[in-house]
Amino acid sequence: MTRRRCATAAITVVCALTVLTSPAYAAPAPPAPPRPEKSLEEVRKEIDGLYRQAASATDAYNLAEERAEKQSAEIVRLAQAIVDGRARIDDLKKRAGAAARAQYRNGGVPDEAKFVLTDDPRRFLDGAGRLLQGHKATRDLLGEMNRTQADLEAYTQDASSEWTRLETSRVRQAKAKKEIEAKIAAAEKLESQLEAEERERLLQLEQQEQAQAQTAWIGSGVLKEIAGSASEEGRKAIEFATAQIGKPYVWGAEGPGSYDCSGLTQRSWGAAGKAIPRTSQEQWRLLPRIDIRDMRPGDLIIYHADASHVGMYIGDGAIVHAPRPGRNVTIAGAGSMRILGVVRPDK
């Protein structure tokens, strides 16, 4: 009986161990539902959106870079002013010390005072005048020293403030650069996943959308009202800009081998002898605005609600511009994108 119980227990343990060491059975997981494939048009819009975001960040980058350059130049100017101020104070101290030593050598009585003590009326009057001049010179010397010292302190404070602003601009610039690179990389990744035929079709869709927008813009009759002629500076700017056709878009680039949109317009107007802001947003904010009906060749058309793109009007309803990464400087319809407004650099 005892042996039978032991055998039964042993069989139970073996069975339990067999269950524990055997691989567990699991029902197969249901297949994941197929991910819906995006249409080529959806991909195009996503890529376009990424490049638009990169363009906005590019403006922030360019503005931070421009400010950093100005702040660096201001810091250099202030540093030189501080050096000059210290040299001036040293010179004033030497002059003040020389005057004090001269007075000490005369027993504490200036030569002018000795003349005042004379019984000769002429020498008395002459000495009195020299004494007044000496007092005035001393006051002027001390006043100049105080003013120079105050200027020196102000320069030092300004230099410290400019340095703080410079560091802020550099931080913004680095942040914008990181955002730009991320957006462009995401857009390029999407585009790289397309077959060659799809990429060609993508370009066709892009051109088709632009052509539709341009047709609608011309159909509004706006060109009938635009009849201005380019100024001499405007012709020079157009000549420079059109000579860059075929060069690639590179964010932050100002030439000569590549450009971003506002780098092209800034350099073009610079070639015409007119300095304009670096970014499309600053060009929109600071340059004189005109009604689109008064537009003439050479004027700059600002695009999108955030003023993130700019092109130069060249007449006959066309612009020259640097479109986006992956594209070259080219001629396009002035109405192929949403127009925010028009500015005139030489107004």
Q: How many residues does the chain have?
A: 347
Distance CA 252, CA 262 (A): 9
Active-site position among 6, 15, 135, 321: 321
Contacts of 233 (CB under 8 A, 6+ apart): 269, 272, 273, 274, 298, 345, 346
Active-site position among 6, 15, 261, 304: 261
Note whether 303 and 311 are within 8 A (CB): yes
Distance CA 291, CA 71 (A): 35
Distance CA 199, CA 176 (A): 28
Number of helices (H) and strands (E), helices first, in the chain?
8, 6
309 is an active site residue: yes
Looking only at the bridges linking them, the beta strands covering 318-321 and 309-315 are: antiparallel
304 is an active site residue: no
Across 40-150, where does the E strand assignment appear?
none
Active-site position among 6, 15, 304, 309: 309
Give the phi and the psi of residue 89 in degrees, each rounded to 5.
Answer: -65, -40
135 is an active site residue: no
Catalytic center residues: 261, 309, 321
